[in-house]
Amino acid sequence: MPKFAANLTMLFNEVGFLDRFDAAAKAGFKGVEYLFPYDFKADEIVAKLKANNLTQVLHNLPAGNWGGGERGIAVLPDRVDEFKAGVDKAIEYATALGCKQVNCLAGIPKDVDAATAHKTLVANLKYAAPKLKAAGIKLLVEAINTRDIPGFFVTTTKQCLAIIDEVGTDNIFVQYDIYHMQIMEGDLAKTIEANLSKIAHIQLADNPGRNEPGTGEINYPFLFDYIDKLGYSGWIGCEYKPKTETVAGLGWLPK
């Protein structure tokens, strides 16, 4: 059975962020992920990881003004210096947390044409990948559906793979989000199988609603078994919105 990591941005919102590590461990999780660690001191998070014997699986590069609606800055040509500074900051945190992979959210190219956005994104990824590799950290890129985030630049597995090919380094991989890709393209099992060597991390939620597995149309028992038979050895991040309380909705989680 795949390894599941609790996404602490989405799960255990019944308590404050630092207390979610305790809650995740109590619920049986061995790994955690979340959007960003940067609002907290790294040593505060390290203490929570160690106290609960948790693996830090993933976090994102800094993504601009999240509260103001930004969803990444990697496609914005006037924010390249900020992006590069964010790579350094992500390396600092990931190294302290023992996190071996970070995800780049491409962003929404407002007032930027598609060709310029693409060129900027590729150049930024070419900058980030070797710096992260030198620190022992994988760089991931994620496609996101345009229903939840209208205008997001990377929207399909095919586009994500084409960008990775253009970057042309061995330290860039796909973060494959089952929920987003069910909305944008479907054919989940075969897409994962065809691109398994490029997929370093998987995330899940059911559709519609982005709630826990078993609440929507995706056949998760089949998919978990399929992924397991493919030999996927990475983590699956539980990036969903619990329908009620987090623990009450964990009945889907294999023992």
Active site positions, annotated: 142, 239
CB-based contact 185:140 (threshold 8 Å): no
Quote the CA–CA distance of 249 and 210 in Å, as a whole number.
13
Task: Say whether 185 sits in a helix, a strand or coil.
Answer: coil
Quote the CA–CA distance of 204 and 4 in Å, as a whole number.
10
Identify the CA nearest to 57 among candidates 102, 116, 111: 102
Identify the CA nearest to 81 among candidates 139, 120, 108, 38: 120
Relative to beta strand 199-204, strand 138-142 is: unpaired
Identify the CA nearest to 72 among candidates 62, 85, 80, 58: 62
Joined together, the tokens standing for residue 123 give 């150049």
Q: Which uninterrupted H or E stretch holds 129?
A: helix 114-134
End-to-end CA distance of the chain: 10
Quote the CA–CA distance of 210 and 59 in Å, as a whole number.
20
Quote the CA–CA distance of 185 and 216 in Å, as a whole number.
16
